[in-house]
Amino acid sequence: MTDIVLPLKGLVVLEFCQYLSGPSAGLRLADLGARVIKIEHPEKGEAGRKLSIKNLWVGSDSLLFHTINRNKESFTADLKDAEELQTVKQLIAKADVLIHNFRPGVMEKIGLDYSTVKQINPSLIYAEISGYGKAGAWQGKPGQDLLLQSITGLAYASGDQGDAPVPCGVSIGDNLCGAQLVQGILAALIRRQKTGQGALVETSLMESLLDFQFELLTTYFASGQQPVRSKISNANPLLSAPYGVYATQDGYLAIAMMSLAQLATAIDCHILHSYSQSDAFAKRDEIKELIAQHVAGNRSSYWLEKLHAAGLWSMEIMDWQQLSTHEGYLCLEMEQTINVPGADITTTRCPIKIDGSRIYSGTPAPLLGEHNQKIQEEILSEHLFTQPKL
């Protein structure tokens, strides 16, 4: 990483988190310079250590754990043990931020809920993620990404009209929620800088995914009707033809918003001239079918040349192998290497630039309890903080 002063340098974050949503928030805070200490069970560790994707492991921990927990430290404590809990409370007294993504009631049972913790550290930013919020019929249900995509209706935004519900192919609820928690934490830190006041910051996977669908939901609230996916080439149930993905002779083409007349001229599909722009939604499926039949007759590069020459928005659909060799990807320098004993892991970097510099943080994820001795010594010597606090 280049020599830049990261904006969160000097802040200490205690991460009581597992799996993806909470750890993703901790990762971004660490990328931005915070010292993030994972509080883990002495024997089991954080549950994400054993969450294997495609049965990929690095040492005794999953590949996913290594990628989402790089640049952090690990401190183990049995929170059911009074003495070890007291040690954790000493850490809390000196921390800036505490984040957790346990189900509602878990931190209360331990004795680390906000009302208790703020007595230890009134200026603490206490940030929590739940699955469905802290009230209502679903509050105790598992906050798992696919379940939240399903219950919030998101699975009806993808796929064509005749398809079964189609969830996103990534854990979008976890990632969005983690990012929004970071937004709340940063806002609370700014207020603390001004007033000295701590804060309770709360969000949930359900609220994040509802916010994500604001266009669909606002349309539903206004019309009282469920948005309907197009029968062919659906990419957004609210948008008219030609918006969608179309098969070509050798791949797929994404065609975004444009007038039918411009598209007809650009790709020499003269039958489209018989439709007015007011038909673009009313006759969406009919028009999309005509476009699909037309572009299937030639290669993606042929259509792209015509569309781009006309200044129209279109791109080919790439897989990861194609993307990873393209100059448009390579110039971003999005990859970084994490050196783990016995393996090198290639993953993505923080997508944010500070003062024109990219942020790379290749410190590997911690071994379970790797930093216990160091942190214990710092607690006793009161040197946990070596930088000014926000």
How far is 287 from 307, CA to CA, in rounded Å? 18
Residues β-bridged to residue 335: 348
Residue 89 one-letter amino acid: K
* Per annotation, catalytic residue among 31, 61, 113, 174: 174
Strand partners, 345: 338
Residue 82 CB neighbours (<10 A): 9
In the 8-state DSSP scheme, what is residue 204? E
Distances (CA, A) of 173 to 25, 106, 209: 13, 21, 6
Q: How far apart are CA 83 and CA 77, in angstroms?
A: 9
DSSP label at residue 270 = G
Catalytic residue check, 355: no
Q: What angle do CA 212, 131, 158 make, to 5 degrees?
A: 35
**Dist. CA 110–CA 183, nearest whole Å:** 27
Active-site positions?
174
